Chains A and B, each alone.
Chain A
Amino acid sequence: MTGPKIIFFVLAATIIVFSILSISSRKILRAAIFLLFVLVAMAGLYYMMNFQFLAAVQLMLYAGGIVVLIIFSILLTSQIDSKLSSPKQSHLLAGAVTAVGGIVLASVTILQYVFKPGVEPAEGTDMRTIGLYLMDTQVHGYALPFEVISILLLAALVGSIFIAQKKNL
């Protein structure tokens, strides 16, 4: 049992346990916090795989942005103290069947496939490389998605303000 393996199993266990808890918790704030733990553990996983920038972005965006947003909306819309209603039996059954079936199906497929590992030497994942790629307009550059995503974010910004505004504006 080497170090990475232990860390991986801890992180994986965290992720799985807390995700299940998140979806089954009766108290809404607790569900949000459990989600937060899942997201943080995932950041840890990215860090293990050498994607430091991505881990940082994950923490900032998800943990620091989206979960905060969720908690805000919880505060704005529902009573924090009251318990959430339990799911309908039919939905529970249907969801369980679908989930378990899906997991089994996907796992069987994955485990049967022999992946060929890549043999080229690893690219660097430091900021400089990422920045260069992000501005690259050649074949493997990501300038176009970068621009597109910025427009998307603008649209989302304007849209969410418009949707959520009070009527008499």
Chain B
Amino acid sequence: MNLQSEIPLHYMLVLSTIVFFVGLMGVIIRRNLITMLMGIELMLNAVNINFVAFNHYLYPNRLEGHFFALIIMAIAAAEAAIAIALIINIYRRFATVSVDDVDELKY
């Protein structure tokens, strides 16, 4: 079904923007490493919506946005895996996953 008539493009885009910045705020606010990761996932997903919306509304004859979103998902998965592995390692080293205690790279 073609949504061009029913829902204007910028609804999607505004939605994507809101989710992105909410995710960003989550990254900045949260003190637990895992909840920071959740914020990052939110950001990635917001971007996915963006690509897919552009593909559907502006270039319906092509599939660029679709594949881009697909690749992004694969990358997000890989990145989440590595992030979790790192978090486990940090937990073993510092016995905490609070980001305040992982600041040894300071001045």
In whole angstroms, what is the CA distance A117 to B93 when docked? 53
Which residues B1-46 have CB closer than 8 A to chain A? 1-4, 6-7, 9-11, 13-15, 17-26, 28-32, 34-35, 37-39, 41-42, 45
CA distance A38 to B13 in the complex (A): 16
Question: Complex formed: what's the CA distance from A121 to B26 in Å?
Answer: 40
Interface presence of B102 (CB below 8 A): no
Kindly state the interface size class of chain A when it binds its partner.
35 or more
Are B48's CB and A42's CB within 8 A?
yes
Min CB distance B64 to A, Å, is 8
When the two chains form their complex, are residues A23 and B30 in contact, meaning their CB atoms are under 8 A apart?
A: yes
Q: Chain B contact residues (Cβ within 8 angstroms of A): what range?
A: 35 or more
Q: List 24 A-B contacts (CB under 8 A).
A: A4-B6, A22-B38, A42-B45, A49-B52, A49-B56, A50-B1, A53-B66, A65-B77, A73-B34, A76-B88, A87-B29, A96-B25, A98-B21, A99-B24, A102-B21, A110-B10, A118-B59, A122-B2, A133-B63, A140-B62, A149-B74, A152-B75, A160-B84, A164-B88
Which residues of A pack against B, CB within 8 Å? 2, 4-5, 8, 12, 15-16, 19-20, 22-24, 28, 31-32, 35, 38-39, 42, 45-46, 48-51, 53-54, 57-58, 61-62, 65-66, 69-70, 72-74, 76-78, 84-85, 87-88, 91-92, 94-96, 98-100, 102-103, 106-107, 110-111, 115-118, 120-123, 125, 129-130, 133-134, 140, 142, 145, 149, 152-153, 155-157, 159-161, 163-164
Interface residues of B (CB under 8 A from A): 1-4, 6-7, 9-11, 13-15, 17-26, 28-32, 34-35, 37-39, 41-42, 45, 48-49, 52-53, 56-64, 66-67, 69-71, 73-82, 84-89, 91, 97-98
